[in-house]
Amino acid sequence: MTATVTSTDLLSHARRLAADPAHWPSTLHFDTADRWYTRLTDAGGHEAWLLTWLPGQQTGWHDHGGSAGAFLVVAGQLREDTVGGSRLLTSGTGRRFGSQHVHRVVNDGMQPAISIHVYSPALTSMTRYEQVGGSLVRLAVERAGADW
């Protein structure tokens, strides 16, 4: 499925991808060591990723290197933490975010979770942060093709 996606309809694109699992990898994988992920699309100025999460797995604090994005929980539940608070997203729910968004996503549920993440433009870097007190401290910048 290749389409031009604008930053305003990233969540809609995630919903279209979720509705068409025939275009997903043939077998989802749940890795006990880390979240599993695979790229679903990379065209039209955007990219989409499919992720699986076992209970307790998380992203750590990060940004998206200047890309706007959206993610949709396809199955299970995920919690998104921001400096301003937390929100629980259950199956079928998602959220959009702007290019300066910093968050952490966690599967703190009892069941595995599946999510689809769409970014525009495609990710070139992500900055990792650590929460110290109530502030985020920059740790490292990861680069596409080198660190993931």
Residue 101 labelled as part of a binding site: no
**By CB neighbour count within 10 A (0-12 exposed, 13-18 middle, 19+ buried), where does 71 fall?**
buried
The reply to whether 13 sits in an annotated binding site is: no
Q: Which of 48, 67, 51 is nearest to 59 (CA)?
A: 51
The span from the CA of 27 to the CA of 30, in Å, is 10
Cβ atoms < 10 Å from Cβ of 28: 16
Please report the DSSP string for 41-60 in residue order: EEETTEEEEEEEE-TT-B--
d(CA 28, CA 5): 25
Known binder of ligand: residue 62?
yes
Summarize the annotated binding site as residue ranges.
62, 64, 103
Summarize the annotated binding site for Fe cation as residue ranges.
62, 64, 103
